[in-house]
Amino acid sequence: MGAAVAFVLKGYPRLSESFIAQEILGLKKRGLDIRLFSLRHPTDDRRHPIHREIGGTTTYLPEYLYREPFRVLRSWRAQRRLPGYAEARRIWLADLGRDPTPNRVRRFGQALVLAHEFPPDAKWIHAHFLHTPATVARYAAIMLGLPWSCSAHAKDVWTTPAWEKAEKLEHCRWMVTCTRTNVDYLSSLAPGPVDLVYHGIDFSRFPPPSEARSCRDGGDADDPVRILSVGRAVEKKGYPGLIEALGSLSPGLHWRLDHIGGGVLLGALKRRARRAGLDGRIHWLGPQSQDAVLDAYRAADVFVLNCRVAGDGDRDGLPNVLMEAQSQGVACLSTRVSAVPELITDDETGLLVAPDDPAALAAALTRLITGPGLRRRLGEAGAARVRACFDFEDAIGRLAAKFGLSGRE
């Protein structure tokens, strides 16, 4: 086993970031010695089974500097003697001039603590997300004179200022991202190395379902079509538009929607659904473990994710929940946003509509609710494509090679 690698995460563990946990476990199984550092403490009241498998300890950097002033002061007094400290401070001050926010000050303080408490046997820093984790990783790597790398995903790609993304691309050893759309965009900003590594599906955790799909057609009030959506209640997930679409469906169609996920807009969405007269037809299940989500996929007839571009530019990359649903043979409906078309071909492996078009979404939902044959065809084709093109073992093998590992576990 080679030198250890410090992984810098925004928050760990998180139910909504099971793909990161899946990657960490996959790399550990291939022999990578990973030390976890998190910028935030967990906020979820439960964990996925995969987090228990990863085990180990996580070092939590000071989420707010004023809460741990002596820890920050000790780190500064020690790190200012490092040869790389002056350069890190120069770059931070330049960044602060363009982004004069408390957040920018906090990231430098966290970098000081990371550098001071850095494992002596670690020789590399890897950040998950191009925004704040990469900022902390970059400052600390400069102080320590170590290389750093980054995995970029979705919001971090589209909401980080262009100047900052370009400078990080030029400075990091390498960067990977999870969609071709992201690769093309990031490569246009700077000549830094950006490679495509899809997250992929771990089929040992998402084996094919043993039971055949239902023949529900929306005509039986006692056996409604089961619609599922898994996603945080945030702007880019488009849940207000989904509620509008559901509210416009024919009163003669019988369906129910199960929503899994938390999010800051959850309360507002519940009120919106109540005003639309859908309160009894939508079941808000909150955040769930991966096992519970898998059970929900298998019980569903239709999976829907109404992706859109948020006002601040935030958008999904290639949502893992779409791949997970397709792995279970569920007919999926989404929108032509970002990298979703890299997974779903309209009317072949799922249905796609334009974003911000509730009428088109409602029409597609009607086709799926009333068409068990269509659902079966799309579900089977989607599952075949996921298994052929999005195998986690292939993806983790490519990532492992980036860290100098070879072979399977």
Domain ranges of the chain: 4-200+391-402, 225-389
Of 375, 237, 242, 367, nearest to 310 (Cα)? Answer: 237
Decide: 147 and 122 in contact? Cβ < 8 Å: no
Q: Please state, as a whole number, how many other Cβ atoms lie within 10 Å of the Cβ of residue 405.
A: 18
The confidence score (pLDDT) of residue 111 equals 98
Of 152, 218, 201, nearest to 328 (Cα)? Answer: 201
Which position has the higher pLDDT, 47 or 86? 86
The tens digit of pLDDT for each residue in 226-283 reads 999 999 999 999 999 999 999 999 999 999 999 999 999 999 999 999 999 998 999 9
Of 89, 186, 185, nearest to 142 (Cα)? Answer: 89
Mean pLDDT across 2-27: 91
Decide: 61 and 77 in contact? Cβ < 8 Å: no
Query: What 3-state DSSP class applies to 378?
Result: helix
pLDDT tier, 190 (very low <50, low <70, confident <90, very high otherwise) = confident
Three-state secondary structure of 167-190? HHHHHCCEEEECCHHHHHHHHCCC
Q: Cα-flanking dihedrals φ and ψ of residue 107, to 5°?
A: -65, -35
Is there a common fold for 4-200+391-402 and 225-389? Answer: yes
The confidence score (pLDDT) of residue 1 equals 47
d(CA 175, CA 3): 20
Q: Looking at the predicted structure, is the pLDDT value of residue 339 above 50?
A: yes
pTM (2 decimals)?
0.88
Which position has the higher pLDDT, 279 or 122? 122
The confidence score (pLDDT) of residue 408 equals 54
d(CA 387, CA 380): 11
Q: Looking at the predicted structure, is the pLDDT value of residue 167 above 80?
A: yes
> What are the start-end ranges of the E strands in 255-330?
255-260, 282-286, 302-304
d(CA 9, CA 20): 9
Of 277, 231, 247, 256, nearest to 361 (Cα)? Answer: 247
Which strand ranges, in their side-by-side order, compose the sheet holding 194-196?
A: 58-60, 34-40, 4-11, 122-128, 148-152, 174-177, 194-196
Q: Looking at the predicted structure, is the pLDDT value of residue 407 above 60?
A: no
403 sits in the region (left: phi over 0; alpha: psi -120 to 50; else beta) called: alpha
Mean pLDDT across 77-92: 96
Q: Looking at the predicted structure, is the pLDDT value of residue 46 above 80?
A: no
Q: Looking at the predicted structure, is the pLDDT value of residue 329 above 90?
A: yes
pLDDT tier, 48 (very low <50, low <70, confident <90, very high otherwise) = confident
What is the CATH architecture assignment of 4-200+391-402?
3-Layer(aba) Sandwich (3.40)
219 sits in the region (left: phi over 0; alpha: psi -120 to 50; else beta) called: alpha
Where does 225-389 sit in CATH, by number?
Answer: 3.40.50.2000
Q: Looking at the predicted structure, is the pLDDT value of residue 406 above 80?
A: no
The proportion of the chain whose per-residue pLDDT surpasses 90, expressed as a percent, equals: 89
The tens digit of pLDDT for each residue in 355-391 reads 999 999 999 999 999 999 999 999 999 999 999 999 9
Instruction: Tell me how far the alpha carbon of residue 174 is from its chain's centroid.
Output: 20
